[in-house]
């Protein structure tokens, strides 16, 4: 079979959530989901895996367990999109056609854009929470650190979970205090941007955390090269265009990211490479039978699973309406959330929308560090994800 009413490209957070919600409709459409991976990862856990709180296996479950009954799983990758012909090509060469398409391919990690990084990642103290393969090495580095210069980076490109690059700095600081390494250590956070966080209320709180912990933050510094054996990180000072070489004893890299190449090279892309959708309806601006959500879309909000939780019901309501030739009823306001772990047992829960104004769920000031919010992140949200969101229940 090569034609489906609805094709979902990508079975990650966005694709699985949309599939589950579509199958919950009174008259569900015929849906195929294209996803090559046999494992699905709850990536938000990787911050705590890198901090040694959970083993990495706890973030992984079989993809098959989360494909809703009734959905056809095509275990291939999309190789090319042809939206003018309502079709796409798979990595095995087959062509699939659709009436409606949902694009949810996530974000591409561009390790190779940093000179020397692929060769040294996973050794010489160079680690990253941004993949299942490298996240355990973060914890190994933190656990065995006996002093010296611990360096952390935040790139100049859009990334998923804008807070993750700094969460691991705070966990490392906390662990070094417990292990006795903190006094002999310097923590340096090189951030390509100009502020610690986009929303002022949380930025103010985080600046206080950084000052209290004695972390040195260097803005407008973008990692361009890693010399693993020499243990040197080379940064571009984006203000002066000078390069700065820094010795490290451990280096946590948040790599540059971009839209998946298969989207960049297709007619679905905006000039920035992301799928070009209306920021309120999630419908493609040129192809009305195409919708997109999550990290691969050009929705101008912070790329998180929490954002997808609010995007998915809007997408599904609008897709069902489009299929019935009705006007699109639902609107997404840019809601996103970032649980900013500030130590083992403390967390600032940032929640905001397109206006960059706080949009908090709890009846207290969420910019204060709290144990209750840490417990929510470590124990509550994973259960809500696996049992609720991916099952189409919230």
Q: Catalytic positions, please? A: 161, 338
Distance CA 40, CA 65 (A): 9
Query: Under the criterion CB under 6 A, does residue 104 sit at the interface with ligand FAD?
Result: yes
DSSP helix/strand/coil, 191:
strand
Distance CA 369, CA 367 (A): 6
Considering only residues 81, 130, 235, 352, which one is a binding residue for ligand FAD as defined by CB under 6 A?
A: 130
Query: Under the criterion CB under 6 A, does residue 334 sit at the interface with ligand FAD?
Result: no
Where does residue 253 rank: exposed (0-12), middle (13-18), buried (19+ CB within 10 A)? buried
CA 62 to chain CA centroid, Å, is: 20
- Counting every residue written for the chain, the total comes to 394
Query: Under the criterion CB under 6 A, does residue 273 sit at the interface with ligand FAD?
Result: no
For 222, what's the count of Cα atoms within 13 Å in the CB-facing half-sphere?
Answer: 20
Query: Under the criterion CB under 6 A, does residue 262 sit at the interface with ligand FAD?
Result: yes
CB 251 → ligand FAD: shortest distance, Å? 16
**Site track 176-215 with ligand FAD (rule: CB under 6 A), x = hit:** ----------------------------------------
By beta-carbon proximity to ligand FAD, the closer residue of 168 and 226 is 168
Please provide the DSSP assignment of 303-361 as one string: B-HHHHHHHHHHHHHHHHHHHTT----------EEEEEEEETTEEEEEEE-TT--B--S
Considering only residues 136, 174, 295, 369, which one is a binding residue for ligand FAD as defined by CB under 6 A?
A: 295
Where does residue 256 rank: exposed (0-12), middle (13-18), buried (19+ CB within 10 A)? buried
By beta-carbon proximity to ligand FAD, the closer residue of 153 and 304 is 304
Query: Under the criterion CB under 6 A, does residue 58 sit at the interface with ligand FAD?
Result: no
CB 180 → ligand FAD: shortest distance, Å? 27
Query: Under the criterion CB under 6 A, does residue 77 sit at the interface with ligand FAD?
Result: yes
Distance CA 362, CA 370 (A): 12
DSSP helix/strand/coil, 135:
helix
In this chain, which stretch among 118-126, 144-152, 216-224, 305-313 interacts with ligand FAD, using CB under 6 A? Answer: 305-313
In this chain, which stretch among 239-247, 299-307, 313-321, 344-352 interacts with ligand FAD, using CB under 6 A? Answer: 299-307
Phi, psi angle pair for 196, to nearest 5°: -70, -30
- DSSP lists the bridge partners of residue 154 as 191
Query: Under the criterion CB under 6 A, does residue 14 sit at the interface with ligand FAD?
Result: yes
Considering only residues 4, 6, 12, 151, which one is a binding residue for ligand FAD as defined by CB under 6 A?
A: 12
CB 168 → ligand FAD: shortest distance, Å? 8
CB 210 → ligand FAD: shortest distance, Å? 19
CB 199 → ligand FAD: shortest distance, Å? 15
By beta-carbon proximity to ligand FAD, the closer residue of 190 and 385 is 385
Residue ranges in 114-163 assigned as alpha helix (H): 117-120, 135-144
In sign, the C-alpha dihedral spanning 280, 34, 111, 160 is positive
Query: Under the criterion CB under 6 A, does residue 161 sit at the interface with ligand FAD?
Result: yes
By beta-carbon proximity to ligand FAD, the closer residue of 71 and 78 is 78
CB 215, CB 207: distance < 8 Å: no
Query: Under the criterion CB under 6 A, does residue 281 sit at the interface with ligand FAD?
Result: no
By beta-carbon proximity to ligand FAD, the closer residue of 11 and 228 is 11
């Amino acid at each position: 079979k090569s034609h489906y009413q609805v094709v979902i490209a990508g079975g990650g957070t966005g694709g699985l959530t949309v599939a589950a919600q579509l199958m919950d409709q009174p008259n569900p459409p015929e849906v195929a989901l294209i996803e090559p991976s046999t494992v699905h990862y709850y990536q938000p856990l990787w911050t705590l895996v890198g901090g040694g709180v959970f083993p990495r296996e706890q973030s992984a479950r079989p993809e098959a367990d989360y494909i809703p009954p009734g959905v056809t799983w095509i275990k291939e990758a999309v190789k090319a999109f042809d939206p003018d012909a309502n079709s796409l090509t798979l990595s095995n060469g087959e062509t699939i056609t659709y009436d409606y398409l949902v694009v949810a391919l996530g974000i591409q990690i561009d390790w190779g854009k940093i000179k020397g990084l692929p060769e040294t990642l996973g050794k010489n103290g160079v680690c990253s929470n941004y993949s299942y393969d490298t996240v355990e090495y973060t914890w190994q580095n933190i656990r065995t650190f006996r002093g010296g210069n611990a360096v952390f980076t935040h790139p100049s490109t859009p990334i998923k979970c804008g807070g993750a690059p700094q969460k691991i700095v705070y966990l490392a600081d906390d662990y070094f205090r417990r292990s006795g390494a903190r006094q002999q250590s310097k923590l340096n956070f090189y951030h390509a941007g100009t502020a610690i966080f986009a929303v002022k209320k949380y930025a103010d709180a985080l600046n206080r955390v950084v000052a209290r912990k004695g972390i040195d933050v260097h803005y407008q510094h973008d990692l361009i090269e890693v010399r693993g054996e020499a243990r040197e990180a080379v940064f571009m000072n984006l203000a002066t265009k000078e390069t700065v070489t820094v010795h490290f004893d451990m280096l946590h890299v948040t790599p540059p990211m971009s839209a998946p190449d298969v989207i960049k090279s297709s007619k679905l892309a905006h000039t920035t490479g992301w799928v070009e959708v209306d920021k309120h309806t999630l419908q493609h601006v040129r192809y009305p039978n195409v919708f997109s959500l999550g990290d691969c879309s050009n929705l101008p909000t912070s790329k998180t699973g929490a954002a997808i939780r609010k995007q998915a019901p809007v997408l599904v309501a609008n897709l069902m309406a489009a299929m019935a030739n009705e006007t699109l009823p639902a609107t997404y306001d840019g809601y996103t959330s970032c649980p900013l772990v500030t130590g083992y047992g403390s967390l600032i829960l940032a929640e905001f929308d397109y206006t960059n104004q706080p949009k908090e769920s709890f009846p207290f000031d969420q910019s204060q560090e709290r144990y209750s919010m840490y417990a929510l992140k470590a124990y509550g949200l994973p259960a809500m994800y696996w049992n609720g969101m991916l099952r189409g229940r919230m």
